[in-house]
Structure 1
């Protein structure tokens, strides 16, 4: 019996005899324009033919594996893939089912609202033209016992779940009714999964509960039939409820007592054993694998559907890992078998075509991956060839070693032996015959003779080395004696130098101290040593300068006066740099320079004529040095300027090229001036201040520039086979 059928009685005993079970009744669905025979109308039409295969986009469905990843399954081709197919369409949202309380009336009212105006009840039963297919809509509702959930059937043979309290509609089965659905399916299959009915009903249900929990099935086009069916079901439910009151509570079975004694961990282990025994696929879903395990009593050891799913998911994770390991071991076993076949049947001369044709029916060949057969075969052949080559090389080395040993044992073989004579002496020996090539025998003999020669030479070198080592030791002993004498001399020298260094340090300290005394007492550059010495000797630091003699002290005194004079001149020059240039004359600065205190310090007396004479000489000497410095800077500028060099060099090249073109030979010196632009050179040089500072001496500056250009012309004219000639060659091309 279908547990979702309206005539299914959940309160009836679970162990009814087979002859008392009624066949499941089909859901009566009235077709438009059809009526029951009792009303005197036409008989009900037969049901339409079964639908064909679903469309392609409905054949694909989305599922989740135990690791949480989504995959897609085709119910027609039985294909599974990870990528989402282009034909896949997600299911539409479930339609809004009718309100609880009066489902039949509301569905009927909904169907009436969809009727065109001016139709009556008789016109409703007329057949709808096949060219106008109706949209998907609810045609029936099945209420689940002891829950607020109902199963709604649509016009396209789809089902969804509707909560009559929260008004929620879902496609997937809610967890709270999973146990109930499983129990109903098990009973419909004729399997008793437990004597306790608490899983479906509560003992605290009132007597009139069967009336509320009976399935309601409504046809939107046959409300009369539905009402009649509901009345019959209610009467049957009342009778079943009375029979349940009269029945005594059954005694718990031994299996139930054993199940109650198990811990939760043991229950999970039993449930996992059930999944393994039924070979439940870890890549499938709970709903698809449920029929395999629901008939087993171990299914009921875990009380809730949520816990069963958790154990199922854990089993899937563990089973996936196990299957992968099994696959790896299987691949490894098949590979080892294939390698064993190669080892037993293949030589290094075997070809792949012959091998594959000969052993294509061999189980070790057929079970191995076809893509890896040939590469592994070729790798094995390469290894065999390598082994064969190594074997031949070993044999060749052994034969060569034996032949060399034969030569060592032959006393007649020395550095002067000939191959023709030695060959006749050893040709009967098996070690001679082991080397098959006569040329190779002679080559080995020649190599052995060369080795003997090298050994003899090495022996001579070793004797010579020993002789040299004796000579070296003798020289080392003599050198050691000489070194000892040298060390003694060096030690004496170091003592002298140390004493001299000590004296030098004392002299340096005395010099520094004496210079300090001079800085403190001598501040006039015109002071005299004889006059200053008496004042210096009165200082307490004079006695600490005993390391200096009188001559050294007088020299330090003179150096001190020179530094004082340099400072005065530096101050005077600084004043001139800030107020004069190269064109300034003495008459222009005479009026103010004599009043400057830095100039007045240059003279030792207060005589104005002497002061003027000293300051004038100093000024003229400064101007001369200043001009000389400017001219030196100009020459440095000319030497550094690459433009002048390039310009003059280009003029020399062009002059020589034109002379060669005219057939005049080497040009005369001075012809290059026709290709040199002094104005352009001057324009480039004017960007440097070293050129500008000689604006007062234009003639001298221009003369220096021309002289520099003339020197460059001579330099570039003297070049032969260098840059100038290469430039001419390129110009000729």
Structure 2
């Protein structure tokens, strides 16, 4: 309902261009063509961004959410909009909210599943890479063994050709076979030693990579250290930063169902810390103005005189609200007057105001005196009037 007229507002479907939704700003190209940029998603669009609207199931109505968070209902048949929910849409809106909740839960589940699949794929890729390295290494070793055998066999043939052309006896053949067997055993022994050395190296690597027994708090601290080293900003998005974080062993120290929450918590705390540091490093305008009062204002100075004399001082300009400046000025004067004799200053004020003459009424004189701080320094109203009348008696 319209709070002023008490009527339900109705909007023309062909009205003026609506305000931009939250986060959108309008820009222009060098040729003058407009485009729109979303400061939240960092995306640009040539199409004018509109408000979010959803079709209400089983009706011709649309549920519209404005850029500033207000809701209204739009009838596509009559092309009218209302703020209040029509009674006939009550069940349909419940159905819409139910569908939205189901869609939200489904989307969250899909995101979790996708994150798990990505993590599993990354682990699988690492395992495949390790297997490929081992296979290539074995192939190279096998090629080396075959090459050694070939060289030794060639040498044996060459040696045989150098021997005199006599028929080989059974002893010669047995000796050659024995030599070849010993060489084969030696090669197998070397191969076995190489395999043992490789296994020992792998075991040492596993011992180094093995996760130490850490407390939950220590795991969280290492997780935060990982985020800090990767320069995660307060505005970072978990799904965007995930690929470059998940391969680090410290990322897996935290359970999967807590990683996103801890990531968002880190970003929030980092933003608060930056905001706090900025506020501490920035001097408040009010404090700058008070410094000016302390250094320049005297008890006999009036607001108009002070404003005219120091209006160009940077400390005077630091505080933008004139009424607030005047209030701080008067408070400063009162605090200083309390240290002196306000009655004597009040009498001097009566002598200073030329309009106060014999016969003037108190209520008229009071209007002339209220604009001076010395008048307010005497908090007792009766005391002000008594001093005023004593002054008139002296005239």
| TM-score normalised by length of structure 2 | 0.36
